[in-house]
Amino acid sequence: MNVYVTLFKADKSVGVRVMGNNAKFLKRYKKLMILMLAVIIIGLIGCSVHVYLFNHRERLYTPAGPTDDCSMEIAPRGDESSQWVKNVIGMPTWYATIYQGLFTNASPYTITYWSMRVNIHEACCVSNAWCGSLEIHQNTEEGEKVQTLDLRNFSPKDLTLDYIQDGPDTMILLNDGDYIEYLPGAADKEYPITGRPKSDDESSARTIGLIFYSHHSAPMVFDDFEITYYLHKGLAQMPVFWFFSAAAILWVMLVIAYIAVFLTDRAAQKRIRQDELIIEQSIHVLTKFVDAKDSYTNGHSYRVAEYSQMLGQKLGFSTDECRQLFYIALMHDCGKVAIPDAILKKPGRLTDEEYAAIKKHTTVGAELLNDFTSIKGIRDGALYHHERYDGTGYPTGKSGEDIPLVGRIICVADAFDAMNSKRCYRDRHTREYIIQELSDNRSKQFDPDIVDCLLELIVEDQIRIAEA
C-alpha cells in the first residue's frame, strides 16, 4: 500500500500542504512554549525557595570555627582613658577596662540581624555597654536570674540582678558560668549590615563597647563567644535568576511571535478554505452540467468520486489525499460536455464513428482541465480513466503502473458504477455478474491491487450492489 501513498503525495495541492505544515509547526511550537514556560516557572520557583531558605537559615560564628561570612574581634580599646582602678570598701581592688568589639560583614550579602553570646569564666562585673542592650544571665543560690538592660539608661531600683553600687556606678556581678548576650540596636544602626557598601555613608562593620571590672590588672580574654546571624540574599544576586529572567523575557517575545504567526496562519487558512470552497462548488456545478446531459448517468460522477475516495482510504491515503482524489474523480467525465446528446442518449448500439466520438471525451476533458492547476492530477483523472492495465485501453494505450495512479483508481470505480447502474440501453447487472467481471479483469482492465480493494469493500458491505 505504501507505494500508492508515495506516488500520490506529489498530487497534493499547495494550499493543503501549507495548512498542514503550518498546523504541525504551530503544534510543535506550542508544545515547546509550554515546556519552556514550565522550565522557567520551575526555575524561578527553585530560585525563590533557595533564597527563602538562605535568608531564614540561622548561622553561627565562633572564634574556634570562623567562616568567610563575618568576623569579630574583642580587645581592650588601648588608649590611656580606657583603664582605671576602682576601690570598693570591703572588697578587693577592681580594675576597669573598656573593651571594643569590631563585627565585620565579609560576605557579599546583607546581615539582617545578629546577636552575640559571651561566656564568663571568672569573677567580674559589667557596668556599661553601647550601643545595644545586654541580656544578662546570673546563676545564684536562688537559681538563674535573667534581665535585659540598656546599661546606658536604666535605674538601679529596677534591677533584679545582683549588683554593687559605688556612688554613681552600678556594677552587675558575674561569675564563672554566667553569660551575657549582646542585642544590637536597630535605632543605632547596628543592623542591618551591608556586605558591599554602596556609599560612604554605609559600612560593612559595626563597633560595640563594653566596660568590665576584674580583680587583676591584666585585660580579660574573650575567646569564648558565639554570634548568631542571618544573611539576606536577593534574587538579583543569583546569576541563575537572571538566566531564567532572560528566558522569561524571551518566552514573552516568543508568545508574541506565536500569536502573530497564529493569527496570520488563521487568516491564511481562512483564505485557503474559501478558495477550496470556490473550487469545490465550481467542480460540483460543472459535474451537474455533465450529468444533466443524460438522465441515466445522473449522479454518476458523484458516485465514482465516492468510490474513488473509499479506494484511496483502503490504499492508505491521508485525509487530504482522499479529499483531492474525490475532486479529481468528480471531473473525470467533464469531456462529455462536448459529446452530442444524440450519441450519449442513444439507446441502441453505437456505430464505429459514434464510439470514436465517445472516446474523445477523455482528451477533450484533459484539454478543458489543462489550465486547472489548483488540484494537481485532475487532468490525469480525465485523460487516463479509460486506460486498461494490459495496455489495450484509450486514448494513449499506457499499461501497468505507467498509467497514473488516479487513472487506475477511477478506472475501477467508473467501471463498477457503470455495471451497478441502469443505462438507457440496459438494466443494471447482478451482484454475481459484477463480482465475476471485476475478478476476471484483474491485471487485464484493472490494477489487481485496486480491484482487490474494491472487492474487499463489497465483501465488508461498505459498498453495496443494488438489486438488479
Q: Are residues 212 and 288 in the same domain?
A: no
- What confidence score (pLDDT) does residue 11 get? 40
Flag whether 32 is in a domain. Answer: no
Q: Are residues 290 and 199 in the same domain?
A: no
Q: Are residues 433 and 344 in the same domain?
A: yes
186 by Cβ neighbours in 10 Å (0-12 / 13-18 / 19+) ranks as exposed
User: Do residues 124 and 164 make contact, with C-beta atoms less than 8 angstroms apart?
Assistant: no
Answer whether residue 3 shows pLDDT above 70. no
Q: Are residues 171 and 298 in the same domain?
A: no
- What confidence score (pLDDT) does residue 80 get? 86
Q: Are residues 378 and 288 in the same domain?
A: yes
Q: Are residues 271 and 196 in the same domain?
A: no
Q: Are residues 367 and 323 in the same domain?
A: yes
Domain boundary among the residues 223, 246, 269 is at 223
Domain boundary among the residues 197, 223, 249 is at 223
Give tens-digit pLDDT for 266-317: 888 888 888 778 777 877 777 777 766 665 567 888 999 999 999 999 999 9
Flag whether 365 is in a domain. Answer: yes
Sign of CA dihedral 109, 113, 118, 119: negative
Answer whether residue 104 shows pLDDT above 70. yes
Assess whether the previous peptide bond of 131 is cis (omega < 30° from 0): yes
Flag whether 319 is in a domain. Answer: yes
Domain span including residue 359? 2-19+257-459
Other CB atoms within 10 Å distance of the CB of residue 142: 8
Give tens-digit pLDDT for 383-413: 999 999 999 999 999 999 999 999 999 999 9
Q: Which of 82-86, 170-174, 283-287, 408-412 is predicted least confidently? A: 283-287
Flag whether 248 is in a domain. Answer: no
- What confidence score (pLDDT) does residue 90 get? 86
Residues 6+ apart with CB under 8 A from 169: 86, 127
Total tally of structural domains belonging to the chain: 2
Query: Confidence class of residue 41 from pLDDT cuts 50, 70 and 90?
Result: very high
The mean pLDDT value of the chain amounts to 89
Q: How far apart are CA 409 and CA 385, in angstroms?
A: 8
Q: Which of 12-16, 121-125, 147-151, 449-453 is predicted least confidently? A: 12-16
- What confidence score (pLDDT) does residue 298 get? 72
Q: Which of 78-87, 109-118, 438-447 is predicted least confidently? A: 78-87
- What confidence score (pLDDT) does residue 27 get? 87
Flag whether 29 is in a domain. Answer: no
The closest alpha carbon to 173, from 154, 160, 185, 157, belongs to 160
Flag whether 151 is in a domain. Answer: yes
- What confidence score (pLDDT) does residue 318 get? 93
Report residue 173 CA to chain centroid gap. 68
pTM score of the predicted model: 0.59
Flag whether 447 is in a domain. Answer: yes
Residues 6+ apart with CB under 8 A from 399: 387, 388, 389, 390, 391
User: CATH code at 151?
Assistant: 2.60.40.290
Return the C-alpha cell found at 325: 482524489
- The DSSP line for 57-118 is --EEE-SSS--SSEEEEEEE--SGGGEEEE--TTS--EEEEEEEEEEEE-SSSEEEEEEEEE
- What confidence score (pLDDT) does residue 66 get? 74
Region 125-143 average pLDDT: 94
Flag whether 41 is in a domain. Answer: no
Q: How far apart are CA 305 and CA 290, in angstroms?
A: 14
User: CATH code at 318?
Assistant: 1.10.3210.10
Region 130-154 average pLDDT: 94
Residue type, 175: N
Q: Are residues 301 and 351 in the same domain?
A: yes
Report residue 423 CA to chain centroid gap. 61
Q: How far apart are CA 24 and CA 33, in angstroms?
A: 14
Q: Are residues 79 and 150 in the same domain?
A: yes
Give tens-digit pLDDT for 4-35: 333 343 344 444 455 556 778 888 888 999 99
Q: Are residues 271 and 151 in the same domain?
A: no
Furthest-apart CA pair in the chain: how many Å? 154
Strand 225-232 to 133-140 pairing:
unpaired
Higher-pLDDT residue of 137 and 461 is: 137
